[in-house]
Structure 1
Amino acid sequence: MESRDGAELCYPALLNLSCRGSMRPRSEAVLLYSLLSSIAVLTVALNLLVIVSISHFRQLHTPTNVLLLSLAISDLLVGLLVMPVETARFTETCWLLGDLMCALSYVIGFTLTSASVGNMVLISIDRYVAVCFPLQYPNKITLSRAVVSVSACWACSLLYNGLILKDHLRQPDRYNSCYGECLVVINYISGTVDLVFTFICPCSVIILLYMRVFVVAVSQARAMRSHITAVAAGAVTVAAKKSEKKAARTLGVVILVFLMSFCPYYYPSLAGQDISNSASSWAIVSWLLYFNSCLNPLIYAFFYPWFRKAIRYIVTLNILEQDSSQTNML
């Protein structure tokens, strides 16, 4: 049913209470659904490869890979649960899934995003200890401690976001002006707290630890060059320089992608404003944030040679062979 101004009612039966929204052209809607669905499928596929690889091959059951597995699970759930809902929210002008789904969609999305950030912090700590304290690493970072850290990360993410969104959970429609809206508003105080705990602190920890890792890696490379013979000097120097460049490039990619994904979302808090999904830029900002879940397996997993080898086993179905879990992947 259409209203007098030509806009379609979200709920035609509620003539005086329903929201009105202009329908997107069919070609535009199909294009958006195709593009955003492709991103969701790619996110699920990439993270599923990481999960299957680490879970199946016993040689990959290490503390570091437990952290990568947790990161992949959070990013997989973003692609599986969050991105489809956000695709419908972005493409359709009306919210037709009800108040309960409205509340749950934000709780799930925020929790998974926080868990993903927490996992990235744990990975940076793991790499810091491995590079800066290699002799103490086996005693400091054990499999059981990694599992406990991951569990605590998920529990804290759920509890933290439940507190941030408690008002939205109690009354999902408190900011809605009509039926067919799904608005969430995080006030300045909650937004500032979220800014500190989900962006500033994790970002600072990641930058500081990776900078320390980079400095130690460079110093180790220089120490190796100082102890080589004159005959092998040229070859080792070239290799050391390549190692330094690779470390710097990896560091730059990690920090750049993290900042590019999260800075636009937290801009309102940085500017002293409330965070609301009613802003016209919300869809782009939120999708940029969620797209980080698609990039994480590329950044953290594709740098590992064992992952490329695991992909070949999975794609060629060699993973179905008996005792394939005992394959040497390193």
Structure 2
Amino acid sequence: TVMPTLENSLILTAYIIIFLTGLPANLLALRAFVGRVRQPHPAPIHILLLSLTLADLLLLLLLPFKMVDAASDFIWPLPELVCAVTGFGFYSSIYCSVWLLAAISIERYLGVAFPVRYKLSRRPVYGVIAALISWILSFGHCTIVIIIQYLNSTQRLTNESSIICYENFTAEQLEVVIPVRLELFLVLFLIPMAVTIFCYWRFVWIMLTQPHVGAQRRRRAVGLAVVTLLNFLVCFGPYNVSHLVGFHTKVSPKWRAEAVLLSSLNASLDPLLFYFSSSAVRRAFGKGLQALRHRGSSLLGRRGKETAEVANVDRGVSQTEGAPSSDYTTD
């Protein structure tokens, strides 16, 4: 059994924390968005947020394999096919999240910049089309993971049964990997990041300068923009910069494992974005917190005193379960 180094042990610990925090929050958000999408004429934003939740859940469900890899000191202990499938799903979910975040920023901008026209023209099919484009772009590009796997992309060690998953490429494999990684940086990161920054800059400016917008909605608008920007800079930025560094140096940077770890942190940050984006999620989180507090008070022998407070967490939210979200549009 290979024991992980201290650095890899810290990476393993971080993966465990991301998994334990991200999974319940995304499952709670999934329940809320499924309820919204199942209602007649769902808003495109809820279809996009549901797709983003599914992308996060795919990443989280693959994290145990990344944990196994880190626990084995990044000497892959499982079959090569599992390495290929894990890498394909993991990296596809990351880039799908990037484009979905860009699509959400476009929807938010249109909702406040052209409120009347947007309300009259929005259709659920637009959200479905945007989500499908995001999934096709990401999964289509990341098929390179499978292709490289069949080109013996994993570097075999002296022990023929041991491999390093999707790292330490040979010169022949680098001829394929490095240009593709540059394309991933440009098409699946730089372009959607530029779109997102522009849309949220306009979105926040409009929200802060309109006199009829309440302080609570302004705070949520700024929170939404900040969380999304953190996603791009902290989570997706280092990993994609590693592509650019690898293109110039012709080798993967030594800090690539840490960059991949930061990418998975996105699954724990997105629930904050859901909270700022959707009243349905705020209600779900409020009910979840209420249930936890009720259970805690029951264990301590105090029943029913503290649970009423959570219902008022967000007074700006409609208390009707089926009410449409009115965060940033003219619903």
The interval holding the TM-score normalised by the smaller chain is 0.7 to 0.9
Q: Does residue 126 in structure 1 map to residue 107 in structure 2?
A: yes
8 Å CA contact 1:100, 1:172 repeated in 2: no
Task: Name the CA distance, whole Å, in 1 between partners of 2:23 and 2:238.
Answer: 24
1:137-176 to 2 correspondences below 5 Å: 137-162=118-143, 164-165=144-145, 167-173=147-153, 175-176=155-156
Structure 2 residue runs of 5 or longer lacking an equivalent are 293-319, 325-331
Q: Point out the structure with max Rg over C-alpha.
A: 1
Shift of 1:155: 2.0
SS at match of 1:183: coil
Aligned with residue 78 of structure 2, among 89, 97, 103: 97
Q: Does residue 205 in structure 1 map to residue 195 in structure 2?
A: yes
CA-to-partner distance for each residue in 1:45-79, whole Å, 9 max, x for gaps?
11111110121355593221111110011001111
1:211-290 to 2 correspondences below 5 Å: 211-221=201-211, 247-271=221-245, 272-274=248-250, 276=252, 280-290=254-264
SS at match of 2:156: coil
Identity of aligned residues (%): 25
Task: Name the CA distance, whole Å, in 1 between partners of 2:273 and 2:8.
Answer: 31
1:311 aligned partner: 285
2:21 aligned partner: 42
8 Å CA contact 1:41, 1:79 repeated in 2: no
1:183 aligned partner: 166
Tell me how many residue pairs correspond in the alignment: 281
Q: 1:143 and 1:37, CA in 2 relative to 1: closer, same or farther beyond 3 A? A: same
8 Å CA contact 2:242, 2:259 repeated in 1: no
Shift of 1:40: 0.8
Task: Name the CA distance, whole Å, in 2 between partners of 1:196 and 1:246.
Answer: 30
SS at match of 1:165: helix
Q: 1:96 and 1:200, CA in 2 relative to 1: closer, same or farther beyond 3 A? A: same
1:196 aligned partner: 186
Instruction: Give the AA of the match of 1:197.
Output: V
8 Å CA contact 2:105, 2:200 repeated in 1: yes
Q: 1:136 and 1:269, CA in 2 relative to 1: closer, same or farther beyond 3 A? A: same
Task: Name the CA distance, whole Å, in 1 between partners of 2:11 and 2:210.
Answer: 49
8 Å CA contact 1:265, 1:289 repeated in 2: yes
CA RMSD after TM alignment: 3.0
Task: Name the CA distance, whole Å, in 2 between partners of 1:34 and 1:245.
Answer: 33
1:327 aligned partner: 321
Task: Name the CA distance, whole Å, in 2 between partners of 1:194 and 1:31.
Answer: 28
8 Å CA contact 1:310, 1:329 repeated in 2: no
Q: 1:102 and 1:213, CA in 2 relative to 1: closer, same or farther beyond 3 A? A: same
Instruction: Give the AA of the match of 2:77.
Output: L
SS at match of 2:76: coil
TM-score w.r.t. length of structure 1: 0.74
Q: 1:259 and 1:136, CA in 2 relative to 1: closer, same or farther beyond 3 A? A: same
SS at match of 1:95: coil
